[in-house]
Structure 1
Amino acid sequence: MYTEVLKVGIFLFVLCFCCGLNPTVDLTASASQCSGSRCGECLITEGCAWCKDRNFTGTRCDNAARMNSSGCLSIVHRKEHEIIYIQDKDFSDGGPGQDSIQIKPQHVKIKLVPNKLLSVFKVHYKIARNFPLDVYFLIDPSFTMRELQSSLKNLSKSIAKEIENLTTDFQFGLGTAMDKVILPFTRTSPRYLDDPCSGAGLGTNDTCEPAYSFRHRQTLTPNITAFENALDDIRTTANLDKPEGLFDGLMQAMVCGRKIGWRNKARRMLLYATDINFHQAGDGRLAGILEPNDGECHLSAKGYYTKAEIQDYPSVGHIIQKAKENNINIIFVIGGNSSQLTNQQVRNLYYDKLAQLLPGGTPGASQLSTDARNILNIVSGNYKRLRETVKLVVNEDIEELDVKMYTNCRTGGRSADRTNICSKLTIEKWADFTPVIQSNFTACPENRNLTFTIFPEGLEERVQVDVEHVCDCDCQLEPEAEPNSAECSFNGTFECGICKCNPGWIGDRCECDNRGTVEEACGTDNGICSSAGQCTCRKCECFKGYSGDKCECNDENCRTYDKLLCGGLSRGRCVCGTCVCNENYTGDACECLKSEDPCKSNNETICSGNGACECGRCVCNVGFRGRLCNLCTHCPGVCIDNKDCAECVAFNQGLYNSSVCKQRCKNVETAPYLQPATAEDQNAPVTIKSCIIEDSFGCFIYFNVHDSDESRKIVVKETKWCPAGPPNLLLVGLSIAGAILLIGVILLIIWKLLTTLYDNVEFSKFEKELLNPTWEKSENPIYKECVTKIDNPMCDSGFNPDEHDDKILIQEMEVDTTLSEKQCHAYEKTVDTEDEK
């Protein structure tokens, strides 16, 4: 009855799933994709089928439509998936003497067909009323966290009572963590080792507990009184720097399962309470600690962490890894009265983002109130959140399989979403998950069986899934398969219409004995089948290009002609490295034509008498060329022979008249300039000879002679060059005399202009002097007047002639001494000019 209901449910779910999920997987295959020598290899591709008729001669691996058209009667199609429920216990709320069961089925086996989607397998999750809960409190024992210690003791019974409303099976445990007892993290002088709070002024008469890294104080227990007593034993301690080493304690609390008391099947909550940031990997180098944290348990009999001063702090990634491995849900509680940073700053900077990375999906750290009395709500609230949310994960990445998780918990069953998380669950409302599984193989794997688990994150409950890849058809298995069948020469199994030969036998009917060593049958000094073939059925099957009993002949190692082996099949063929030529050819590469017909001219002359015929081609003597050696491009007379045609065509002159020119000079043309010509066919090269000929007028004609094997063409430059005649001596002499005369005239004109200019300048200067009034007062130095006027210098000096006795001198000068004083300066002595003379 259960099986029939399951089949109906599977059919309905497939219909709904195909409409709701709409997985984007291409499960079709064209005929060209169908391949395989056996039935199972063929059907591994979706859309392919196998024909198992005994005498079928067509392609056995193809799509069904082509099989039918080919006349196949027995077609093998792909199988369907098969799900076997090995353990499928119903849900259980647990309680005294009962195990809680929240997930089902617990163990299934799936016979999976490769490259085919499996979407009918379901996993159900339901909250158990009394599912076990383990809560471990990891507390910062610094002075600023003393309120939490007090509140935990006062509220421990209230916390227990609150949790009893959710589950009756719970346990509490306790541990404290401070920091490594080494500088610079903790003072190491004897005074501070015994009392780390010495001189701190904490206002208490009690001394602090000696410094330590982590101490496990109470194993998980349902005895609330024992938990309270462990709280009473906590004494304040301290470290030196601001951050604290709670990560050491966190790691030990997670990995020391037996000493902490974690139960295998329980939800594990670890409440981490502090008011400051943490040390992490790398900080240990400040104290010279270089050994990384190994993530192992190192607790002494009294619960102390023994490798605190030997190993470095754990990293954030290491904490996350161990939390996932041990299914620990870490709850960060931030509070206390630290003066370094506010609680909000500690949360934002250090713990909120870290909480989101840990298992359980905690949105952030919880804020502890000033009196720490909200610890009750923090514990119960986080447990409710963890209990009401489930996240199904696969234990590891499986390369062979593609597993995708779908659920309809968000839509209430109307459609399925691709998600592995369900929230807001209750005892009455559970979640249904659908793992969509597919293998993507092009060939059946060697390891056809594998196992993986599906589990709720943070819990130990598991769904074990055993997968067996179904790669064989039923006709490959007994009783349909016939071992040692007569159809296979009693040397193989007849399966699915073909023979699968026993070891040592090969062939379509296993008729070939392949036993014994290959070296014995096909060995040579150069390897099996001369390394140029395969030894099949004790005979060499040579690769292409090789022949012989043991492939010792290389039929592609002959010489080539015209880029073809032995000149091509029309000339010969390569046999064991040597060219075997056809009847009309000879030579190492069959390159030579035996007949001399291609070398004969119209008069049956061999190579025009200018060469010899070798291999069907003319080899011309020096100075001759052309296919028949009929061209002599560089022989004397080539230019002279074509002069008359060049003259008559280009310039309508010379010996030929127009009628003769048209008849004899058809291969002559003109061009504005001459340029080298190139041949398009390399087998018929063109030779160019440049010619310069002088005509009867003394001008030079330029033309090129283009010779090829088949024709000759003459190209004449449209213009000719005519040199100038002898010079005219009379004209040259007259030109020189005229040039000299012209230069003399020009020089005279220049001289005349300069003298005229000079005279004008002097005349203008003379006119200016005439107009100058001082000209009249000046004396002509050439002209001498008859009367000479002499100024008496003695008048100016106050000379009085009456006071001197020299009257004789005055009388001799006939000067009137009675001159007035005014006239003294202007007296004159008249001298007869003639007497002076």
Structure 2
Amino acid sequence: MNILMDFRNNLFLILLISFINIVISCNFDTCGACISYAEDKCVWCTQDGITGPRCRSLKSLSGDTTKKGEPTWCKPENIQNPQFEKVIKEDKNFSDTEEGSQVQIKPQVIKVKVRPGEPVDFTMNFKPAKDYPLDVYYLMDISYTMESRVGDLKRQAEKIYKDLSAYTNNVRLGIGSFVEKPGFPYVDPIGHTSHAFRNHMPLTDDMKLFISTIDKIKFGSNYDNREAGLDGLMQAMTCREEIKWRDNARRIIILSTDSPYHSAGDGKIVGAIKPHDMQCHLKDNMYTEALTLDYPSVSQINKVATDENFKIIFAIAPNALKDKIPETEYKHLVRQITGASFARLEGGDSVIQIIKQAYEEMANTVQIKYKAPSFVNVTIDQDCSSVPKRNCEVPHKKSLSINGRLVVKSCPKDISKTKTTVTLNPYGLRDNLTIELEIACQCNCEQEIGSIVPGICHGSGFIQCGICKCQPGSYGNDCRCNGTSTDQRDMEKCKISSEAKLCSGRGICKCGQCECQNGFSGNYCEYDDNSCPKPNDQLCFGHGRCIRGQCTCDLGYSGKDCSCKMDDKDCYAPYSTEVCSGKGQCICGACVCDTKKGKNETYSGVFCDSCDDCVAARCKELGNYAYCNYIHRDNKAICDRDEGSKVSNIIVEFANKSEINGPKLYMATRCMKDLETNNGSVMIFKYRYINRDLKITIQEELESPPIANIWIAVLSAIGLVLLIGILTVIIWKILVDMHDKKEYKKFQDEALAAGYDVSLNPLYQDPSINFSNPVYNNQCTT
């Protein structure tokens, strides 16, 4: 009986605590603050005569009725609970009939009214238009080392135009150039011809003009190895009218060079100390602020490229010194610029192939980007880095549907921004889906201004949303307080308990209400908004907000300090499709390795793949990729083309036989791949992890297995058989002799015991016979 009573008491206590938590979580003093709390769906009661809180969780109202079914807290018509609304405002059908008016995204406008914390699901459909305009601008390094590349462009100009016209009948080409900022010490103004950017020809479909323009290009030079590629790139993107970029066209810029680039900060050497303003500065097609504005930063290039929908291709040519620095730097650069790619500029028709490949990628794939305020979280169900790619490949002549979700994390600090927009569009295109967002951060009743009635709210305010809305200079629940109020009863209202300090010692009590110091909140200033976990000197790890002393995490994070990342992307080893190599679990974005079966130990390593049994599987997994890089050692992009995020953290290098077996790679794991060739050659490579990056070192020379001499094997086998036979005979003879010797000794012992002379053999008969020869005087003859 006592056990049953304890169970009932505990159950009641649990339910009571749960109810209190639900109510406290919606403990707000105004209707707007109540309905805009993102954690719980809180509602406000405007009914007169309410005792207790006016703001409660919608969950807490379940079953909150009298026996007659009437609500005990608030009548339904007095509850402020903004409802979710979503209306498709504009939804034109797909169209590609008229230039400049193609419709590739539908719907075009969605209007949404939503409360913070309430998810909004939406679907956008994409269908590429036929003969969509294409603008290609060739930005050329015209230092003397690039002279042969300019010749390649001239020879291939007509073929480029013809091949691209097979994709779309609306192609235009343009060309610009760069060398270096024309200032000492980068350039000698007397001995060098140099410029940071020049627009030789804006976009046109006149190929004769294009070719004649290339003929007139004069080459320049400079002292240092680095050049002003980013200066030229910024002007090519921002000078829309001068370059004649079309609003409705796919935009491709091919930056061709054989040298590394200058970035922000390097311009100070020539006196260009002003930060770049990301604006166009062309006069007579020449960049005029080269010696005033610093080089643009990589982040500035990325912002303009993203905002203006540019596809940038860094086409890098091998330089005369076979220096690997430019290639390495540009490969790193493309990772920092959205939509950028790297290509190796070889001779022949490599320019054509680069442009065609870029257009095919833009036309056949779609990757959605978005712009949203910081207080709105947007997720798109699309992963173009996954293998296979999800919702990225566009079916031929068909539309593609992509799902998304947005969640308003909190109300903006500026109440005027409660009406905002979120735009989504495919990268490289102007078509977009606009979501007109209206955030419910104020109740309808708060927008109503009543008249001041004597006796109500002490004549210093009016009823709004069921409570007094005080005039300036008055405050308190009933507006009876002013700056001189010192009523002791009001002081008691500022204590969380009778023994506690006023406003917990963190604020000032005015007319029964606490005015908290910065960093504290709550009715009694009892919550320290800086008391939340603060790893990395950031409240809630920078992934949440500290509300009432507890972290409220952003979407995608959890834990008391919001440090637990819900995404498992970091748990995939490079070039692996299994979470934690299939030997662990991804917890908070990191692998927690399983215990080995039948052993009192766990797997180890960042990706749980450090074990004796794991090496063979990992070598097999990496074998084909390593061999692809061995074949295409000068163009890793070929092997990476369809691999997506699997190869984003892989570094490939080559070493000779002595280096790969040297001390630097002693700790790396050795692998061998059979090539199934006639001579049975094998490829040797090693792999190791550097933080979360995978570094593969491939041996430059193939290894051939040693040629076996079959006669040595045959004769060895025959010799072994003979040796075993001879040893068997010898052992048998020894054993037989030992046995005979033992039997003879036994015979001697028995004869002596019987009284025989063992020195004579009783069975022995002398073979000689004596007889008399009568002819020979009867003498005996034997």
Q: What's the TM-score, normalizing by structure 1?
A: 0.49
Equivalent residue number for residue 223 of structure 2? 240
Partner of 1:348: 327
Q: What amino acid sits opposite 2:322 in the alignment?
A: L
Q: Please say if 1:81 is aligned against 2:84.
A: yes
Q: 1:125: Cα distance to partner?
A: 2.6
Write the distance in 1 (CA, Å) between the matches of 2:412 and 2:220.
65
- 1:339 equivalenced with 2:320 (yes/no): yes
Paired with 1:127 and 1:309, the residues of 2 have a C-alpha distance of 43
Confirm whether residue 452 of structure 1 aligns to residue 441 of structure 2. Answer: no
Identify if the C-alpha distance between structure 1 residues 331 and 484 changes in structure 2 by more than 3 Å, giving closer, same or farther.
same
Give the Å deviation of 1:273.
Answer: 1.0
2:246 aligned residue: 263
Give the conservation status (yes or no) of the 8 Å contact 2:380–2:402: no
Per-residue deviation, residues 437-462 of structure 1 (Å, max 9, x unmatched): 23335999564323332233333333
- C-alpha separation between the residues in 1 aligned to 2:371 and 2:443? 32
1:731 aligned residue: none
* 1:406 alignment partner in structure 2: 381
Match of 2:484, as an amino acid? I
Distance 2:413 2:182 in 1: 60
- Deviation sequence 1:77-125 (CA, Å, 0-9, x none): 73432123333323222544x4122223333321112232222x22333
1:659-703 deviation digits (Å, cap 9, x = unpaired)? xxxxxxxxxxxxxxxxxxxxxxxxxxxxxxxxxxxxxxxxxxxxx
Asked if the contact 1:50/1:60 (under 8 Å) is kept, the reply is yes
Distance 1:269 1:29 in 2: 56
Contact 1:180 1:212 in 2 (8 A): yes
The residue type equivalent to 1:401 in the other structure is V
Confirm or deny: 8 A CA contact 2:234 2:301 kept in the other structure.
yes
Structure 1 pair 541–269 and aligned structure 2 pair: CA distance change class (3 A): same
Q: Are the counterparts in 1 of residues 230 and 263 from structure 2 also a CA contact under 8 Å? A: yes
CA distance in 2, matches of 1:224, 1:450: 46
Aligned to 1:367: 344
Equivalent residues in 2 for 1:174-193, closer than 5 Å? 174-189=175-190, 192-193=191-192
How far off is 1:466 after superposition?
A: 2.5
What is the percent sequence identity of the aligned residues? 27
2:45/2:80 contact within 8 Å kept? no
CA distance in 2, matches of 1:378, 1:472: 54
Instruction: Report SS of the residue matched to 1:30.
Output: helix
Residue by residue, what CA displacement relative to the aligned partner does 1:783-830 show, whole Å, maximum 9, x if unpaired?
A: xxxxxxxxxxxxxxxxxxxxxxxxxxxxxxxxxxxxxxxxxxxxxxxx
Who is 1:667 aligned against? Answer: none
User: Is 1:528 aligned to 2:484, yes or no?
Assistant: yes
1:382 Cα deviation (Å)?
A: 0.9
For the residues of structure 2 that align with 1:451 and 1:298, how far apart are their CA atoms?
Answer: 31
Distance in 2 (CA, whole Å) between partners of 1:256 and 1:99 is 24
C-alpha separation in 2, matches of 1:260 and 1:42? 53
Compute the displacement of 1:136 (Å). Answer: 0.5
Amino acid at match of 1:107: V
Asked if structure 2 preserves the Cα contact closer than 8 Å seen for 1:135 and 1:171, the reply is: yes
Instruction: Determine helix, strand or coil for the equivalent of 2:110.
Output: strand
Give the Å deviation of 1:545: 12
Deviates more, 1:30-39 or 1:384-393: 30-39
- 1:217-246 deviations in Å (ceiling 9; x for gaps): 111122223222212222333333333333
* Aligned-partner residue type, residue 334 of structure 2: A
Q: Paired residue for 2:491, among 543, 548, 562? A: 543
For the residue of structure 1 that corresponds to 2:283, the secondary structure is coil
5+ long unaligned stretches in structure 2: 1-17, 495-500, 502-782
Cα offset for 1:216? Answer: 0.8
Q: Distance in 2 between matches of 1:52 and 1:289?
A: 63
CA distance in 1, matches of 2:23, 2:229: 65
Q: Is the 8 A contact 2:179 2:221 kept in 1?
A: yes
Equivalent positions of 1:190-339 (< 5 A) are 192-193=191-192, 210-287=193-270, 289-301=272-284, 303-335=285-317, 338-339=319-320
Residue 434 of structure 2 is matched in structure 1 by 464
Secondary structure (helix, strand or coil) at the match of 1:251 reads helix
- Report which of the two structures shows the higher radius of gyration computed on alpha carbons: 1
State the secondary structure of the residue aligned to 1:264: coil
Distance 2:150 2:429 in 1: 29
For 2:26, the equivalent position in structure 1 comes to: 34
Question: Pairwise mapping of residues 694-713 of structure 1 onto structure 2 (< 5 A)?
Answer: none
- 1:395-434 → structure 2 map (5 Å cutoff): 395=371, 398-407=373-382, 422-423=392-393, 426-434=396-404
- Taking the aligned partners of 1:289 and 1:473, their CA distance within structure 2 comes to 54
Q: Which of the numbers 391, 398, 409 marks the counterpart of 2:367?
A: 391
Q: Determine the C-alpha separation between the residues in 2 that align with 1:449 and 1:27.
A: 34
User: 1:175 Cα shift?
Assistant: 0.8
Distance 1:27 1:171, change over 3 A: farther
Cα 1:223–1:73 change in 2 (3 A) is same
**Preserved contact between residue 271 and residue 292 of structure 2 (Cα < 8 Å):** no
Structure 1 position 290, deviation (Å): 4.1
How far did 1:424 drift?
A: 5.2
Q: Report the residue type matching 2:243 in the other structure.
A: I
Partner Cα distance (2:261, 2:386) in 1 = 42
Give the CA deviation at 1:270.
0.6
Q: 2:129 corresponds to which letter in structure 1?
A: A
The Cα offsets for residues 11-53 of structure 1, whole Å up to 9 and x where unpaired, read as xxxxxxxxxxxxxxx9997133233455555444535445565
Q: How far apart, in 1, do the equivalents of 2:19 and 2:51 lie?
A: 28
**Alignment partner, residue 357 of structure 1:** 336
**Corresponding position: 1:439 with 2:422:** no
Q: How far apart are the structure 2 equivalents of 1:284 and 1:232?
A: 31
Q: Does the CA-based 8 Å contact 2:425-2:431 persist in structure 1?
A: yes
Shift of the 284–507 alpha-carbon distance from structure 1 to 2, 3 Å rule, reads closer
Residue 435 of structure 1, CA deviation: 2.5
Contact 2:120 2:406 in 1 (8 A): yes
- Once the two structures are superposed, what CA deviation does each residue of 1:144-168 show, in whole Å capped at 9, x if it has no partner? 4333333323322322222223322
Residue 381 of structure 1 and its aligned partner are, at CA, apart by 0.5
**Matched-pair contact (CA < 8 Å) for 1:395–1:455:** no
User: What CA distance in whole angstroms lies between the structure 1 residues aligned with 2:216 and 2:295?
Assistant: 26
SS at 2:260 equivalent: coil
How far does residue 499 in structure 1 lie from its aligned partner after superposition?
5.4
- Return closer, same or farther for 1:184/1:36 CA change in 2, 3 Å cut-off: closer
Aligned partner letter, 1:332: F
Q: TM-score, normalised by structure 2?
A: 0.52
Counterpart position of 2:107:
105
Q: Which residue identity does 1:178 align to in structure 2?
A: V
Which residue is 1:165 aligned to?
166
Q: Deviations over 1:695-737 (max 9, x none)?
A: xxxxxxxxxxxxxxxxxxxxxxxxxxxxxxxxxxxxxxxxxxx
Which position in structure 1 is the counterpart of 2:7?
Answer: none
Shift of 1:271: 0.6
CA distance in 2, matches of 1:34, 1:316: 45
Alignment check: 8 A CA contact 2:135 2:252 kept: yes
Q: Structure 2 counterpart of 1:354, which letter?
A: L
Deviations 1:287-308, CA, capped at 9 Å, x for gaps = 455444443322221x122233
Displacement of 1:178: 1.7
1:543 counterpart letter in structure 2: M
How many residues were matched structurally? Answer: 466
- Cα 1:490/1:95, change in 2 over 3 Å: same
Mark the CA change 1:477 to 1:40 in structure 2 (over 3 Å): closer, same or farther: same
Distance in 2, Cα, partners of 1:181 & 1:68: 82
The residue that corresponds to 1:652 in the other structure is none
> Could you say if the C-alpha distance between residues 183 and 544 of structure 1 is closer, same or farther in structure 2, counting changes exceeding 3 Å?
closer
